[in-house]
Amino acid sequence: MKVSKVSDEEIETLFTTVFDDKVATYNNISEFEAKCQRQVGKDDITIEVMICGTAGSPTVDDWKTGNIENAETVTIDRFDVGELTLTLDPEETLYLNPNDYYVFYKS
């Protein structure tokens, strides 16, 4: 994907749709928020996902070990600029409190 031709907001929207269908629904994650981060002049993308966990959703330890079904990669696509695959980086998982945490996907 030519990320320079896509806004952060559009990347967030595309990611949120795919993450919801592929990861959140499958793993009983009802609330999350995705934010796109990138450095000026670089094509690298990081998606920061804040997960508000509930009973039955994966724990922060599950994310830290990468032990989440269907969560290894998220591929977003826009017909005119191509695909972008983002990969979960379990080592970056950040604990906020017993139910909430951040996970990171990187291009």
Q: How many CB atoms lie within 10 A of CB 16?
A: 18
Domain count, the chain: 1
pLDDT in tens, 2-21: 777 889 999 999 999 999 99
Report pTM.
0.90
Buried residues in 50-86 as b, exposed as e (16+ CB within 10 A): ebebeeebbebebbbeeebeebeebebeeeeeeebeb
Check if the beta carbon of residue 93 is closer than 8 Å to that of residue 104: yes
In the numeric block, the tokens 């970056």 are attached to 92
Q: pLDDT tens digit string along 44-83?
A: 999 999 998 776 788 888 999 988 989 999 999 988 888 9
Residue 35: how many other CB atoms lie within 10 Å: 14
